[in-house]
Chain A
Amino acid sequence: MAIVDTIATIILNGLQQGAIFAMLGLGLTIILGTMKFLNLAHGALYLIGAYAGMIVIRETELTEGLLTDLGIQSIGLDYGFAAALILIPIIGFVVGVFMERFVAKPFYDRPETDQLLVTFGLALMVEEIAKGTIGGNTFQSTPAKRFFGFDVTGPIQLPVVGAFPQWRLYLILIALIVIGLTWLLIERTDFGLVVQAGTHDSEMVRLLGIKISRSYLLVFGLGAALAAFAGLIGASIQTISPQIGTERALVPAFLVIVVGGAGSVGGAIVGGMVLGVTIAAMTVIASQWAQIVLYAVAAIVLLTRPQGLFGSVEVEE
C-alpha cells in the first residue's frame, strides 16, 4: 500500500503545482497564439498577483523598503481569501489591458527579439519596484482559516492518500475550475471562436468585419488575469519574494508552452500537468535532480517534437 500512497500523494502534489503551471502556460499561450507576442513580463504578472493577493488577504508587517522609510509599518486589507478570489483577476485583467495598449501594441510589428527585450526590461522594473517598495525579504504564505464561513484549517481524510491539508485541496479544486472555465471560454464560445480564428489568420478575421483589436485587448487581459490568479494560488501555498516572478512563473510558463505546444489551450493544460507531476515525482525520488529533470523534459520535447505535444503547427519559426 505504501507505493500506492506515495503515487497518490505525488499526483495530488503534482496537480497542485501543475494547476499553477497550467494557468501560467494558458495565459502565455493565448497571448502568444493570438497576437504572436512574446511576453517575458508574464512572470511579472504572477508577481503582481502574488503581492496583491497577500495585501488583500491579510495584514503584513514590513521591515524594509520605501514604505517603511515613509513610516508605514504594515500593509494589507485583511479582507480574506474570498475577496482576493474576486479582486485579483480583476487587477490582473486591468494591468493586462494597460500592458497591451501601452507596451505590446507598439511592438506587434517589430522583430521578435525586440518584443523579448522590451518585456524583459519591463519584468526587471516590476521586480525592482516590488523590491523597492515592499522590501526584498521573503514573506511566508498564510493559509486561510475560514473561507465563505467554512473552517478550512487542518487535514482532511482522503481515500488512498490519507490525511491531506484541506486548504490545499480546495485550492487545487478552485484552480481546476478556473482552468476548466478558460478552456470552455476558448473552445466553446463565440468569443473563443474569434480568438482561435485570429490565431490562424488574423487578417482574414479582420476582413470578415470583426474588430480583432478588441479581441486582442480581451485576450491579453484574460492572459494577465490568469497569471495573476496563478500568483494568488501560488502565494497561498508558497513563500513570496520579488524573485518568484521569474523563478517560479516565467521560466516554467515557457517550459509549459514548449511542452504543450505554442498556441494550444489543451496543450498548455496537459503540459502544465505533465511538468507539475514530473516535479512532484522527482521531489520524492531524488529532490536534488527535480529541477534538472524538469528542464530536461522540456529540452527533449523541444528537440524531438518542436510543435509540442499538442501543437499542430509551430508558431513563429
Chain B
Amino acid sequence: MSGNGPRPNGGEILDPDASTIQRARALAQHNWSVILGAVIALLLFRWLMIDGLGMVADMVDVRIGGYEGLPSLILIYGIIVIGFNLLLGYVGLLSFGHAAFFGTAAYVAGIFSAEVSGSPLLMVVAGTVAAIVLAWPIGFLSIRRTGVYFAVLTLTFGQMLYFYALGPGAWLTNGDNGYSDIQTGDLLGSIRLDAPVPGLEFLLGHWQYVFVSIFMLLAIIVANRIVQSPYGLIFTALGENEHRVSFVGLNVFRYKLMAFIISAAFAGVGGSLFLIHESYIHPTTGLYWITSGDFVIMSVLGGTGSLVGPVFGALVFEYISNVISGVSLPVIGAIGSLWRLALGAAFVVIVWFLPQGIYGALKSLIGRVGRLIERQLNQTAGGDD
C-alpha cells in the first residue's frame, strides 16, 4: 500500500492568520478532539445501529436493523483491526497469523475465568498478557523475513496453534467441541454485564456495551498516541522505506518487533472481549487462518491509510455478515450465504480502485468538499476587500 500510507501529522504549526477552516482542521487533529469525538461516537453508536436502523427498517419494510450485541461485536473487531492496521497500514507488514493472538487470548481468558477468577477485567488482562507473551517469540522469528515470507511464517505459526487446539491440545481446549466452561463474573464485583444500564438503557443497552466501549476508547487513545508520537513516526517510516530507517541508525528489528507485539496486544484485548461476548470459543472461530484473513479484509475494506479506517471495515464486514445475510429481498430472495460472495467482490473492487478503502474514499470526498467551501469563502472574502 505504498504511496497511500497514513500520514501522521507531526504537530503542524499554524501561522497566526490561518483561515478558519485551517484552524478547524488543526483542532480536529488535536488529541482531545479525537477523544471527545470517539466518546460521542461510542455513545450514539449502539442507538444508531439498533434503533436508528430499526426505524429505517420499519420504513422500507426490510429487516436491516441491528440487534442487541451486534454493536459490541463490531467494536470488539474494531479494537483488533486498529491494532492489526498499526502493523499492516503503518509498518507495512501483512500478517496472516493474527488469529493466533485473538484465539489464544480468548482461550486463556476462558480458562482463567473457570480456574482463577471470573472478573471481566482480570480476564481481559490475562488474555492480553497471553497474547503478548505469545507474540514475542512468534514476532521474534517472523520479523526476520519480509513480504510473503513473513505472511507465510505467521500463517504457519497460527496454523500450528490451530491444529494443536483441535487435536493434541484438546485436554486444555476441549478440541472440536469448543470451550464453553466460561464463568464470567460481575464487573468490579457488583455490575452484571448483561444487566441494563440504569437510566440510559435506551442509549447504551447493557453494561457489556459500556465495558467494550471503554476498551474501544482506550484502543483509540493508545493507538492515536502511538501514531502521533516520534515512535509511531518510525513505524510509518518503516512502511515507506526500511533501508533508510536503518541508515539513520535505528534498530529496524526492534521497532518491527515492538509494532508486532503492540498489534498482537490489541488482538489479545479483542480476543478476551470476544470470549466474554460470546461465552464460547471454537478453534475454527478463534485460531483458524480464515479469521486472520477476516482481519485483513476488514482493514483493507475500511482503509489501511488511517487509524480509524479499519473500524469502518469491521462495521461493514460484521453488518453484512450478521444482518444483511439474514435479509430477504423481494426479487432476489434470501441473501443467505451469498453475503460472502458480495464481500469478496467488494473487497476486489476496493483493492483495485480504492486502495484507501471506504474511510479513505469518504475522507477524500469530504476533503474535496471542504476545499470547495474554502475556495468559496476565500472568494467572498476577496470580494469584500
Contacts and interface: CB of A to CB of B under 8 A. Distances in A.
Interface of A: 38, 106, 111-114, 116-118, 120-125, 127-129, 131-132, 136, 246, 251, 254-255, 258, 288-289, 291-292, 295-296, 298-299, 302-303, 306, 314, 316-317
Contacts of A122: 344, 348
B152 A117 contact: no
A238 B328 CA distance: 36
B347 interface: yes
A125 B147 contact: no
A317 B296 contact: no
Contacts of B148: 38, 112, 116, 254, 316
Given A114-B355, A302-B149, A251 B163 contact: no
Interface stretch (B186-194, B259-267, B333-341, B376-384): B333-341
Interface stretch (B116-124, B138-146, B249-257): B138-146
A114 B92 CA distance: 11
Given A117-B296, A291-B167, A302-B152, 16 more contacts: A38-B148, A112-B148, A118-B351, A121-B348, A123-B344, A124-B343, A125-B345, A128-B337, A128-B340, A129-B341, A251-B289, A254-B152, A291-B163, A302-B145, A303-B153, A314-B149
Main secondary structure of the interface of B (DSSP, over half): helix
Contacts of A246: 290
B135 to A, nearest CB: 16
For the complex of A and B, 8 pairs with smallest distance between CB atoms: A124-B344, A288-B167, A128-B341, A121-B347, A125-B344, A121-B348, A291-B163, A295-B156
B159 A295 contact: yes
Interface of B: 1-2, 88, 92, 94, 141, 144-149, 151-153, 155-157, 159-160, 163-164, 167-168, 289-290, 293, 296-297, 300, 337-338, 340-341, 343-345, 347-348, 351-352, 355
Given A117-B296, A246-B290, A299-B156, A316 B147 contact: yes
B338 A128 contact: yes
Given A298-B156, A303-B144, A125 B163 contact: no
B163 A292 contact: yes
A205 B297 CA distance: 37
A314 B157 CA distance: 21
A314 B144 CA distance: 13
A122 B345 CA distance: 7
A90 B347 CA distance: 29
A74 B84 CA distance: 44
A106 B352 contact: yes
B296 A132 contact: no
B164 A292 contact: yes
A111 B1 contact: yes
B341 A251 contact: no
A230 B99 CA distance: 29
Contact of B168 (A117, A129, A132, A288): A288
18 contacts: A38-B148, A111-B1, A113-B94, A116-B151, A117-B300, A117-B347, A117-B351, A120-B293, A122-B348, A124-B341, A132-B338, A258-B152, A288-B167, A291-B159, A291-B163, A292-B167, A299-B153, A302-B156
Contacts, number: 111
Contacts of B152: 254-255, 258, 298, 302
A132 B341 CA distance: 9
A288 B351 CA distance: 38
A302 B152 CA distance: 9
A102 to B, nearest CB: 11
Contact of A302 (B153, B167, B338): B153
A296 B300 contact: no
A38 B148 CA distance: 8
B211 to A, nearest CB: 33
Contacts of B341: 124-125, 128-129, 132
A285 to B, nearest CB: 13
B259 to A, nearest CB: 16
A316 B94 CA distance: 14
Contacts of B157: 295, 299
Contacts of B167: 288-289, 291-292
B340 A124 contact: yes
A118 B347 CA distance: 8
Nearest to B346: A121
Given A106-B352, A302-B145, A132 B160 contact: no
A111 B290 contact: no
Contacts of A316: 147-148
Contacts of A132: 337-338, 341
Interface centre among B144, B297, B344 (most CB of A within 10 A): B344
Contacts of A317: 146-147
Contact of A258 (B146, B149, B347): B149
B168 to A, nearest CB: 5
Contacts of B88: 113
A113 B1 contact: yes
A314 B145 CA distance: 11
A125 B342 CA distance: 8
Nearest to B341: A128
A288 B162 CA distance: 12
B99 to A, nearest CB: 13
